Every structure is written in C-alpha cells, then in structure tokens.
A and B are shown apart, each in its own frame.
Chain A
Amino acid sequence: DQQVKQNSPSLSVQEGRISILNCDYTNSMFDYFLWYKKYPAEGPTFLISISSIKDKNEDGRFTVFLNKSAKHLSLHIVPSQPGDSAVYFCAASASSWGNEKLTFGTGTRLTIIP
C-alpha cells in the first residue's frame, strides 16, 4: 500500500516558467514532509521541507505548499532552470514514529526545456 503518491511520472516545462510537482499522501499520521532531488547515478539531495504546522515554506526559487485537509503537497520552482532537470521525490514522516522512517513517493522526472 503506497502511502505517498506522485501520480505524474514525468513533467516537461519551458525554461523560465513555473514547475509544479504534486504529491498526495494517505496516512494522517504524517506531519513532516520533504522534497528530494535526484540526478542520475547520484543519491537523493535534500531540497526543502515543511512541518504540518505550516502551510507554506519558501527557499529561494523553491516553495512547498501543504494542504492538510486534502493530504496534498506541491513543490513550485520558479523560474525553472535547465539545471532543475532531475527526478523529484516527495517523502513523509511521522513524529509519533520517531521521524526516522521516511516514506517516499515514486518520483517525478522533471525536464526543463531550454
């Protein structure tokens, strides 16, 4: 049973435009969410996170939005740059479980078109 879902396996966006990556979760115990970026033959790299006490967190070109009632989060990248082309993983954890157990989605491959 996949508790974290990324329903779009791929996304193509023109350079300079906004990229929006989506993630849905089913377990209401999740209270901490992260986005990771992964290039081929490398490990996932932490990008940005959000706690369930917030609905938005911003870091430079990256903003994560959390809608707890819909159990949905999204990552906005603006403006998109060619170096943003990678696979993006959404992940979630629950503080009541000790937060060590991250549950990952299956990833969305983002391609930025120059």
Chain B
Amino acid sequence: DAGITQSPRHKVTETGTPVTLRCHQTENHRYMYWYRQDPGHGLRLIHYSYGVKDTDKGEVSDGYSVSRSKTEDFLLTLESATSSQTSVYFCAIRGTASSYEQYFGPGTRLTVT
C-alpha cells in the first residue's frame, strides 16, 4: 500500500462547514495527489503537490485548497462544504520521479448534508 493512509475514512458534515482531509505517507515520496471519485465521472484530479509548499491545481480545484508543510502530509480543505462535494476522496503518490505510476490511499467517504 506504499505506506499511504487517509483520515478520516468517513465523515458526514453539514453544508457550509469547513472540512480538512489528511493524507499521510511514510516513504518520502515527492509527488502527492488528491482525486475525487464520482459515478459517471471516474477519477478527477483536484490538486497535486510536487514538494513541500509546492502545489498546483488540477481539473476540479474550485472550492478546494491544499497545503503541504511536511513531505509526509498533504491536506485537502473544503473551505465551505457543499452537497456537490459529497464524494469519495483518494490521495495518491507517484512511485518514482521517472515513472508516473501512482499508488493510492484507502479513500475518504465524505457526505455533505
């Protein structure tokens, strides 16, 4: 599992509240990614990081922010959760600098009511 964990694994929150999801890795990988998985849309990239304090937007970044203050942690924040952000969120790391193979965390199921 490439030492990737996500917390929490499940969360229910109300519309308008901020939510932070955490991705933690133990193998010092440089590249980390946040995706959301939705039926009919597959996996869509939200944000990614290519090093400490280096992040960039993905395909569906509106309403999300990220931070990476340490190599091992990549945080995804929903500033003000909306029902459209109900989804399963996956964190991933890139295995090596030369390969684009990705290894995924177990996922976080977020429900916004």
The answer to whether A and B assemble together is no
